[in-house]
Amino acid sequence: MIRSVASPRTSRLLQQVIRHTRQQARFRSSLPWNTVVLFVPQQEAWIIERFGKYQRNLQPGLNFILPVVDSIKYVQSLKEIAIDVPHQAAITLDNVTLTMDAVLYLRVTDPYKASYGVEDPEYAITQLAQTTMRSEIGKIALDTVFRERESLNVLIVDALNKASEAWGITCMRYEIRDIKLPSRVQEAMQMQVEAERKKRAAILESEGIREAEINVAEGKKQSRILNSEASKTEQINQATGEAEALIAKAGAKARSVKIVADALSKKQGINAVSYNIAEQYVAAFSNLAKRGNTLILPSNSGDVSNVVAQAMAVYKNLAVHDPHTTDEEKEQQGKVSDESFSQEDIFRIEDSQSDQTNKTLDDIEKIQKPKGDS
C-alpha cells in the first residue's frame, strides 16, 4: 500500500519510521493519564514534568501529582531488553565480505539520561552496535572470525558501554547469531577442510606405519638379545659342567692313582701290577689289525714275561728319580722289587731286552730295504 502511493525513497523512510515506532512501543509503555493518584508498576520509572520542565521520577507504588500543571512525559522500563540487530555486511582484514546479525541485551540504569540524553535510545544503541561490529570485524581475518567469536562479543560490549554511558543505558551482552559467507568462499573453505582432514589422515596413517615398524624392529632386537643371552648362559653352563666333570675325573684319577700307589707300597703289590700289565698286554693283542692292515711287531711278541719285566724296570727307574719320593718309600720300593726279582734276573732281563731291541731294528731295516738291493 505504501509503495503504491509514494516514491521508493519515501516508502523506505515510512517503513523505517513504522519499525522504530513499534520498537519504541516495546521499549517503553504507553503514557498514562494524570489522575492525581497514580500507581507505578515495579521495574518502571515515570518521568514527571511540571510546566514542561523535568520535576522528578515516580518510584514504584503509590504516588500523588498535581493535576493540570504536572504531566507524565516518559515511561522507562528498567527490565533487561533483547533487541535484534538486523543483518549487515562487514569486510574482514583479508577483504572477505560477511553478512552478520546479532542480538543485543541492554538495561536502562538512569531513566533521566535515557529520556533526555538521546531521542531514541533503542535506535541509537542498535546503530552503535552495527558500526562497532563492522569496525571490529575489519581488524581480524576470516580464519580467525570463528575462533575469536567470543572475544569479539566482549570487545563490542566494551565499546557500546563506553558510548552509551551518557545515555543511561548499560549493554549486558552482545551475541553474534549468524554469519553468512559468499558461496565461493564457503566452497573454498570446505575444500580446505577436506584437504586438512586428508592431511591428518595421511599423517596418522604414516605414524601408525612408523610405530608398527618400530615395534617390529624392537621385537626383533629383544628377540636377538634374549637369544644371545640364552646362548651365553648355555655356553657358560656347558663350560661349567665340563670343568666340573674334568675336576671330578681328575679327582677320581688322583684317588685311583693314590690307591694304586698305596697298593704298590704293600707286600706283593709289584706282583699284582705285573699281573695287570700282562692282562692288558694280552687284551691289546686282541685289537690288532682292526683299524689297519699294516703292522710292525717285535719277533718275541708272544713273550709276556719279557714285556712285564720291561714295564717294571721302567716303573722302578721312575720311582727312583721321583723328587717327591721319600727315602723310606725308595727303600721300601727297593725291598719290594728285590723280593720279586733277584739281581741276576734283572741283568738277564736287561740283556734280553737289548738283544730283542737290536733284532727288532734289523727286522725293520730288512722290511724298508728295496727289492733291487737284495
Confidence bin at 286 (pLDDT 50/70/90): low
In this predicted structure, what is the pLDDT of residue 117? 84
Please give the distance of CA 199 from its chain centroid, rounded to a whole number.
Answer: 22
More reliable by pLDDT, 257 or 72: 72
pLDDT of residue 203: 92
C-alpha cell at 370: 728295496
**Radius of gyration over every alpha carbon of the chain, rounded to an integer in angstroms:** 65
Dihedral angle, C-alpha 211, 215, 221, 226, nearest 10 °? 160
Is residue 37 predicted with pLDDT exceeding 50?
A: yes
The whole-angstrom separation of Cα 27 and Cα 90 is 27
Amino acid, res. 362: D
Q: Give the lowest-confidence range in 128-137, 198-207, 349-358.
A: 349-358
* Residue 30 pLDDT exceeds 80: no
Does position 49 have pLDDT exceeding 60, yes or no?
Answer: yes
Is residue 19 scored above 70 in pLDDT?
no
* Sheet with strand 53-58: strands edge to edge: 53-58, 44-50, 70-77
Confidence of residue 225 (pLDDT cuts 50, 70, 90): very high
Mean pLDDT of 279-285: 65
Q: Which residue has the higher pLDDT, 256 or 230?
A: 230
Per-residue confidence (pLDDT) for residue 177, from 0 to 100: 85
pLDDT at 327: 56
**Phi, psi angles (nearest 5°) of residue 278:** -60, -40
Q: Quick one: pLDDT band at residue 254, thresholds 50, 70, 90?
A: confident
d(CA 245, CA 251): 10
Per-residue model confidence (pLDDT) at position 318: 54
Does pLDDT of 70 surpass 50?
yes
pLDDT tens digit string along 164-182?
888 888 999 888 888 888 8
Q: Which residue has the higher pLDDT, 30 or 117?
A: 117
Predicted pLDDT of residue 314: 59
Helices 269-285, 327-340: inter-axial angle, 10-degree rounding: 70
Per-residue pLDDT band at 84 (split at 50, 70, 90): confident
- Name residue, grid cell 533521566: 112
Residues in contact with 105: Cβ distance below 8 Å, sequence separation at least 6, in sequence order: 80, 81, 82, 83, 171, 172, 173, 174, 175
Cα separation of 72 and 40, whole Å?
11
Averaged over 133-156, what is the pLDDT?
A: 86
d(CA 58, CA 46): 5
Residue type, 101: D
Which string of b and e fits 276-294 if b means at least 16 CB within 10 Å?
Answer: ebeeeeeeeeeeeeeeeee
Q: Is the pLDDT of residue 204 over 60?
A: yes
Task: Give the pLDDT confidence of 338-355 residue by residue, as tens digits.
Answer: 444 444 554 455 455 556
**How far is 247 from 244, CA to CA, in rounded Å?**
5
User: What would the grid cell of residue 40 be?
Assistant: 507505578
pLDDT number for residue 140: 86
The angle, 0 to 180 degrees and rounded to 10, between the axes of the packed helices 343-368 and 304-321 is 110
Taking the CA of residue 143 as centre, how many other CA atoms within 13 Å lie in the half-sphere pointing to its CB?
A: 5
Quick one: pLDDT band at residue 186, thresholds 50, 70, 90?
confident
The confidence score (pLDDT) of residue 76 equals: 87
- pLDDT at position 120: 84
**pLDDT greater at residue 343 or residue 240:** 240
Query: Which ranges in the chain belong to alpha helices (H)?
Result: 2-5, 8-27, 111-116, 121-137, 142-145, 149-164, 183-264, 269-285, 304-321, 327-340, 343-368
Q: Which pLDDT does position 288 carry in this prediction?
A: 60
4 pLDDT above the threshold of 60: no
How many angstroms separate the Cα of 322 from the Cα of each of 64, 256, 326, 330, 338? 150, 19, 9, 9, 19
pLDDT at 292: 56
Q: How many residues does the chain have?
A: 374
Nearest to 261 by CA among 249, 273, 274, 278: 273
CA dihedral (185, 187, 190, 192) positive or negative: negative
pLDDT mean over 304-323? 60
Q: What pLDDT band is residue 209 in, cutting at 50, 70 and 90? A: very high
Which phi and psi angles does 275 have, rounded to 5°? Answer: -60, -40
Q: State whether the Cα torsion 90-94-95-97 is positive or negative.
A: negative
